[in-house]
Every structure is written in structure tokens, then in C-alpha cells.
Structure 1
Amino acid sequence: MGLWSKEQLRQFIKENKLVTAQDAQNALKDLFAETLQEMLEAELDTHLGYEKHDVQNKQTTNSRNGKSKKTIISEYGEHEIEVPRDRQGEFEPVVVKKHQSTVTGIEDQIVAMYAKGVSTRDIQDHLEQLYGVEVSPTMISNVTNKLVPLIKEWQSRPLQSVYAVVFLDAIHFKVKQDGHIVNKAAYMVIGIDLDGNKDVLGMWIGENESSKFWLGVLNDLKNRGVQDILITCVDNLTGFSQAIAASYPKTEIQKCIIHQIRNSTRYVSYKDLKKVTAALKPIYKAATEEAALLELDQFEEAWGSKYPLIIRSWRSNWDELATFFKYPPELRKLIYTTNMIESYHRQLRKVTKGKSIFPTDEALLKMLYLATMDVVRKWTGRVQNWGQILLQLSVFFPDRIGQFLR
């Protein structure tokens, strides 16, 4: 049974001359505001200890306490209510808390839509169509700004002391800055711990990708407790290796083979592209480093005179391209490309594709954080074949991880 009988509902409909659904929405809005107002009054009365007969004392005290106006948003729309105040400072309201601007799940809906990359205009349209609520861009910004302390806390959380593999890569966006549109890099780090679980260790917004900024990122990881990284997987950014060596000198570096192939094919004419790509494949598919070097020699014989820059690039980067050859297949498959972090980037792009330009670094960071939380929630299992991989790592790095496996 509802709060009202059928007779009371019919009387309510008759008194308010309700004909359409919109009429009902407006009437419920007024009823909600009046009910909320009475609840606020009753809350202060209870706090001050009024009895029903104590009218004179109530009037005198309320004249001293006063009221303040406040705008509240609910499913029924926007309401302006008067909030009673206890000037003695002892009253902590419960019905509508201090600084509370909504009494509904609308804030959660705003955050959920923002996390999916829904534009501010579309969020406004959705709330107006569904609830008849007019929400300003400022209101949406204020709601999402509540994420900033959470992001700072997440970004500074302590990390584990040792990570087996860490992937480092950046994804690029356009952001407004000082009246201009500039390219910004979102620096991303994914770590796999000794239990085989992966996690996003952090994200940082900076200018176009540079080894100097990456050095700051690595130092931040160290300050948050990461003492050792066994293997890092990176692209071919100039200076990356020096930045890693400065923070983690014992860490092995594996440069992404796929990035190396992309860089190689930049020099190749379209008519040779398929042939060159096929000729490179035996190099990184070889069973051993020795066999791979023989394949590289054969590639040079076939294509070296026409594309000497390809040969120069492979040979100059060889030490860090060939790291994976020393490991068994299960570990090779995990580290020879940066596919893990690129897959994560694809998930971020799905969310951000509707935003060609971000108004601020903070707006970009909020959206990336929400999208990241959504991705990480789905990372529930260990890396495939982790038991076998960990056994191999314990053989290759006995002094560095042995104490953590006892």
C-alpha cells in the first residue's frame, strides 16, 4: 500500500489540476521541496529540543538563528530551499548536509557519463530529458572536480617494492593552454607484480613526450616505494634507455619490436613494403640471438644498399631489441612488444574519441582516471602462464626476487 490512499491521490490530482505527465512532474517538484523544507525545520526543532507547546521560545530562538537559501537538485528538478541555521555552531544537518548540492544519484550519473566520454552538452540533454533537470556546465564541472582529491590520492599511493615487468608508453591529446591548442602527452605506466597481477601504476600529463619527463616519472615510482624493476618494455624514444638506467641501473630494457618495424618501414617505398616486412620477420622470429643476427646479415645483403637506414637502426638498437631472445617462449611473448599497454590505450581512446580538444590538463586527467578505473576493474586474473614465467624469473634473477618467493 502506498503513502496515500486512492481518495487522497484523486484529491491531490483534482486540487492541482493535473492533466499531463508534465503537470504531475511539476506538482511533485513542489511537493518534494515543501516536504524537504519541513524536514529541515523539524530537524532543527529536534536539535534545539522544542516541544509542541513551546511556540514562543521557538519563535524567539529562530529569529536569532535565521536561515540561508540553498539550491538543491533532485530527480524532480532544481529547488531553492531555506536552510535553518544554528548560529551557536553546534548544529550539523543530516537531511541536507553542509556543501551538499544534490539529494539524489544525479552526481553519480554525471560521473558515470563523464567516464564514458559523454560530452557536457549531452549530459545536460540526458538529465533534462530524463528528469526535467537543467544542469549547467559549471555544475557538471563542480561534480567532476570532486574527483581531483581521489586522483591525487591514487597517484601518490604506495606501490610494491618489486615489479617483474613494467610497460611505459605515452598517448597524445590536444589541450587548450594560454589561448592556444597544444599537444600534450599522457605518460602511462603498467606494472606486473610478482603475483602476476597487472595494474596502472600512474599517469602524468606533460608536454610532448621526452626522456627528461620520463626520468621524472621513474623517480616518482621510486619515491612511492618501487625499489626494483626486472624488465621494462618501451618504444624507441631517444634517451629512454638513459632515463631508465639513471633510476634503475639493474633493469633490463626491451625495446618494442613492433615499434622497430614501424620505424623501419617509414623509409620503404610502397611497392617494397610487403617484401621488406616479410624479410624482417625471420629476424625477430628466430629461435636464438645468434640465428637472429644471421637473418639480419641476410636482410642486409638483400636490402642494405637500397635501405641502409633500416640496417643502421636495427644494429644500433640491437642490444635492447634482442633482450627477449635470452628468455623462454612464455616470457618472450609477454615482453617483446608493448601490446599490453597499447591495448590499454585503445580502451582510453574509445572514451576520449568524442573529445577532439580538452579545455585543461585537469579535464583530461579526470577523464583518463575514470576510464582507467573502469579498465582496471576488469583486470581480475593473473597474466597467462604466470606460474611458469615466475619460475623462469626466479632462475634469471635469484638475488633480486628470491627473498620475495619464500
Structure 2
Amino acid sequence: MSDTTIEQIPDSEPTAAVPAGDEQLVAMLVDRARSEGLQLTGEGGLLQQLTKRVLESALEGEITDHLGYEKHGAEGRGSGNSRNRTRAKTVLTDVGPVEVKVPRDVAGTFEPAIVKKRQRRLSGVDEMVLSLSAKGLTHGEISAHLAEVYGASVSKATISTITDRVMDGMAEWSNRPLDSVYPVRFVDAINVKTRDGQVANRPTYVVMAVTARGTGTSRGSGPVTAARARSTG
């Protein structure tokens, strides 16, 4: 399994050009967004939110494979077992504590694998989360990474089901509705240090913005390429 650490590049300045008369409003929006947690890492940061989405999507794939039918699927009627809500659980990850909703089944036979019962610490998903948010992995590559995270105890068919759910979850996040106007935009970057044969830093851009209501949101992310570096340098 690769060993990944995350180093955040120092805070960037707003990149939007602002008329002089609006400077006070923009400053107020930025201050409000920062006070409410416009950040990449740490409590409530972008990477925590994405890690939560990936883990919950994987867990949904697990219980779908365990029960043998999709959520609300007609084939589940009379099957003798079904979903039974969720329970909240906090796990410590490479990007901080993340609260996830772990699905349960009526029969009590479902044993989650990516976040096991009584497991409190989880590593090895941060690099995949970054790559997924930047659309940097294919279905096969995600399957291979998940197989590494899960280990040999999970079948290829189960990994395929889980991969489908993870990709669906990230696609839903990528296609979420956005505001038509953002008064302020921040372009930040992180260095992802991966030990896979040798240690190397891989910078990744993250675009965050402030809405007209003064709330922070993530616009997207992607790898730093030579062309992008020239355009922002």
C-alpha cells in the first residue's frame, strides 16, 4: 500500500478582480466564509467532506452486495433481510476525524469491511479521494486501489459493486448544482507526497469560492500540469 502524506501550500489570496466600490463587501464575504470554515484540510474541510462521501458510498456498495439487491429494489421484498437505517461512527483518517453513516441490516448479519466494527482509525484512502475529486482514476484503477484497501478477504465481484457506488457518489458530487456567480475565488494547492517505490510530491490545485451569501464552497480540483502552472504563474 502506498504511503501518502498531505502538505498544504500556504493560504492563497482571492483571484477575482473587484471594483473599488465593492472591496468592502468582498472583504466582509471573505471574512464570513473563513470564520465558517472555508478550508481544505481540518475540521469541516473539503478533504474531510470528500472522504466521508467515498467511505459512505463504499459502505453502500458493501451492503448492496451483502443483501443482493439495490436500495428500494423490488427483489428485496420477502427476501428475509433488508436495510435497517444507519448508525453514525467517527473514524480517524489521514485528513482528520470523519463521521460516517454505517448501514445496518434487519438480520444483523452485515459486517462492514472498509470501516470494521470497533475500528477507529483508517488510512490509505486519501490519495484515492484526491484522484477521484480530480477525475484522475479509471474504473479499473479505483477497483485496484479498493482491492488494496480491502485486502484479499473481499471478492472481485464485491469490489466491482463497491467501485460502482464510489464512482456514482463522486459523480453526484461533481455534478452538483453551483451558483451562477461567485464574488470571490480562491485557488489553493496541496502537495501529495506518495511513497510508491520512491518518494515524490504531486501538487494538486483546489478551487474554492465564496458565494454572494458569504458561505464557502468547493468548485473543484485537478492535477497541476505544466500548462496550468504557466497560466497561473
Q: Same fold (TM over 0.5)?
A: no
Query: Which one has the bigger helix percentage?
Result: 1
| Relative contact order, higher structure (CA 8 A, sep 6+) | 2
Q: If you compute each CA radius of gyration, which structure gives the higher value, 1 or 2?
A: 1
For normalisation by structure 2, the TM-score amounts to: 0.31
Query: Which one has the bigger strand percentage?
Result: 2
For normalisation by structure 1, the TM-score amounts to: 0.19
